[in-house]
């Protein structure tokens, strides 16, 4: 089963995304901070990562993940409520972007597209 790691500091968003993805047959792990990457047991097939986490910058997390041999090829889709973030995700090494509030079909299509192409 395809494993997706969702990292967002908002528990309501984590719950909604987890329900949507599990309903579409994905194995989902959630975390409220980027510290999850320090102790991953199994690499996910895709990471959904909020850009602005409490006390952390998702863009810096992406850069760190791209420098790590274990995570450098894992597709990363950034999620954010900031409209301008959609214009910059490629520059930091992310593979895709979903804006908040998100459309369910857009979220699922972005996940599927990034799993297929990577």
118 belongs to a structural domain: no
36 belongs to a structural domain: yes
Q: At 10, phi and psi to the nearest 5? A: -100, 110
Q: Could you give the percent of the chain with pLDDT greater than 70?
A: 97
64 belongs to a structural domain: yes
The domain in which residue 23 lies consists of 3-113
SS3 category, 24:
coil
75 belongs to a structural domain: yes
60 belongs to a structural domain: yes
Per the structure, the count of domains in the chain is 1
| pLDDT tens-place string over residues 33-91 | 988 888 887 899 999 999 989 888 999 999 999 999 989 999 999 999 886 777 778 88
pTM value? 0.93
Is the model's pLDDT at 102 over the cut of 80? yes
Pick left, alpha or beta for residue 25 (phi over 0 → left; psi -120 to 50 → alpha; otherwise beta): left
State the CATH number of the domain containing residue 15: 3.40.50.2300
């Amino acid at each position: 089963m395809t494993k997706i790691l969702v990292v967002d500091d908002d528990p309501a968003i984590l719950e909604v995304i987890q329900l949507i993805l599990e309903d579409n047959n994905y194995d989902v792990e959630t975390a409220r901070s980027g510290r999850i990457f320090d102790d991953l047991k199994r690499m996910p097939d895709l990471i959904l990562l909020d850009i602005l986490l409490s006390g952390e910058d998702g863009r810096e997390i992406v850069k760190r993940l791209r420098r790590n041999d274990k995570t450098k090829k894992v597709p990363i889709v950034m999620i954010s409520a900031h409209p301008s973030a959609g214009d910059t995700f490629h520059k930091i090494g992310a593979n895709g972007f979903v804006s908040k509030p998100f459309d369910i079909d857009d979220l699922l299509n972005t996940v599927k597209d990034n799993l297929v192409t990577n």
